[in-house]
């Protein structure tokens, strides 16, 4: 279904209008939306919460002829938890729904923390998990925590459905593995086994609502013999995409953790990160902040596991 959308008052001519006029396509299903995207690749853009898209359209960074209104696909807004399979979140679920979900708070407290610290409540009421991932702005919290939790992003397009690891989904600033006709439909997060813990920390320089200079998320799993059996350490906001800290992880995996090992792992967590120089801080500053945050996150996760095992 197509509808014209008035973007300017009658008294305002097109040159003065801050947003180019556009049409709204309301799909009845995901396949309806991806077929429309396939047919109108250069001219159409999905819109979910609109918190990023509308700003880009006002700035004329984007000027699509068609917006595909995903919010009408209400069946893509859900949070389902299963003790064996883990968590499934529909792509149109708002940040606020994740922040206030009991299943999330009880089973994935770091996920709650990451969503509760996005911007302000107005942004969280409108913005969606799918929109945040597809937007791929380096400062977004969700990619960092989802990568640490070992999540998968489910994509649906004209050729069917595929799944991509969250830590590989974003490839650069505003760049993802999404093909032109694909939509994000779901995010799947595995269950947290006993002896595991995950932490998320965000650092801003001006106000808590501001976008971060650095975010970190760390997942640790310690077996019955007190040996670290799995680690996923991720740094976000610092470079053009999130970075998995493989060198730090290799310091921890297979060892009995000590303060010294955690300090060594934090010290090298920014290895190979190309830090950006922008309004959120200089490259040196962001890298140093990341190391401090990683040290705090690792200690908090380790302490939580020790308490649960004692």
Residues in contact with ligand FAD by the rule CB under 6 A: 45-53, 70, 91, 118-119, 123, 126-128, 130-132, 134-135, 139-142, 178, 183-184, 211
**Which position's Cβ is nearest ligand FAD?**
131
Pairing of strands 228-236, 214-222: antiparallel
Residue 289, sorted as left (phi over 0), alpha (psi -120 to 50) or beta, turns out to be alpha
Query: At closest approach, how far in Å is the CB of 155 from ligand FAD?
Result: 8
- Are 22 and 5 a contacting pair, CB within 8 Å? yes
Q: DSSP states of 148-190 as a string?
A: HTT-EEEEEETTEEEEEEHHHHEEETTEES--TT-EEEEEEE-
Cα–Cα distance, 151 to 129 (Å, whole number):
12
Alpha helices (H) in the chain, listed in sequence order = 30-39, 53-58, 95-99, 102-107, 109-116, 121-126, 129-135, 141-148, 166-169, 246-252, 259-267, 283-309
Q: Please, what is the minimum distance in Å from the beta carbon of residue 22 to ligand FAD?
A: 13
Q: What is the CA radius of gyration of the chain?
A: 20
Q: How far is the CB of 89 from ligand FAD (least distance, A)?
A: 12
Least distance (Å) between residue 120 CB and ligand FAD: 7
Q: Distance of alpha carbon 87 from its chain centroid, rounded?
A: 15
- Provide, for the chain, the percentages of residues in helix, strand and coil under a 3-state DSSP scheme, each rounded to the nearest 5: 35, 25, 40
Question: Min. distance of Cβ 266 from ligand FAD in angstroms?
Answer: 23
Closest CB to ligand FAD among residues 100, 229 = 100
Pick the closer one to ligand FAD by CB: 126 or 293: 126
Instruction: Give whichever of 97 and 128 is closer to ligand FAD, judged by the CB atom.
Output: 128
- Which residue number, 12 or 61, has a Cβ lying nearer to ligand FAD? 61
Closer residue to ligand FAD in complex, CB, 40/229:
40
> Nearest approach, Cβ of 168 to ligand FAD (angstroms)?
16
Give the other-Cβ count within 10 Å of 100's Cβ.
15
The nearer residue to ligand FAD, 122 or 256, going by C-beta atoms, is: 122
Q: How far is the CB of 12 from ligand FAD (least distance, A)?
A: 24
47 versus 170: smaller Cβ distance to ligand FAD:
47
């Amino acid at each position: 279904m197509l509808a014209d959308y008035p973007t300017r008052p009658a008294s305002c001519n097109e040159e003065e209008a801050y947003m180019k006029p556009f049409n709204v396509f309301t799909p009845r299903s995901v396949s309806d939306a991806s077929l429309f995207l396939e047919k109108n690749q250069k001219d159409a853009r999905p819109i979910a919460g609109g918190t990023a898209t509308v700003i880009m359209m006002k700035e004329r960074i984007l000027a699509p002829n068609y917006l595909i209104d995903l919010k009408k696909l209400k069946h893509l807004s859900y949070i389902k938890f299963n003790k064996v399979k883990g968590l499934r979140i529909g792509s149109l679920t708002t940040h606020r729904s994740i922040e206030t979900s009991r299943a999330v708070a009880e089973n994935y407290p770091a996920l709650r923390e990451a969503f509760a610290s996005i911007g302000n409540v107005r942004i969280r009421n409108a913005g969606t998990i799918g929109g945040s991932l597809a937007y791929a702005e380096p400062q977004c919290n969700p990619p960092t925590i989802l990568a640490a939790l070992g999540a998968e992003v489910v994509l649906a397009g004209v050729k069917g459905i595929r799944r991509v690891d969250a830590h590989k989904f974003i490839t650069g600033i505003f760049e993802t593995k999404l093909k032109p006709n694909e939509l994000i439909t779901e995010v799947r997060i595995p269950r947290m086994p006993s002896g595991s813990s995950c932490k998320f920390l965000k650092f801003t320089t001006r106000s808590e609502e501001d976008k971060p200079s650095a975010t970190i998320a760390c997942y640790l799993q310690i077996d019955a013999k007190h040996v670290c059996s799995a680690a996923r350490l991720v740094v976000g906001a610092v470079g053009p995409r999130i970075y998995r800290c493989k060198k730090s992880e290799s310091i921890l995996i297979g060892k009995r953790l000590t303060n010294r090992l955690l300090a060594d792992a934090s010290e090298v967590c920014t290895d190979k990160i190309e830090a950006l120089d922008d309004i959120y801080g200089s490259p040196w500053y962001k890298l140093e902040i990341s190391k401090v945050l990683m040290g705090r996150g690792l200690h908090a996760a380790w302490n939580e596991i020790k308490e649960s095992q004692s």
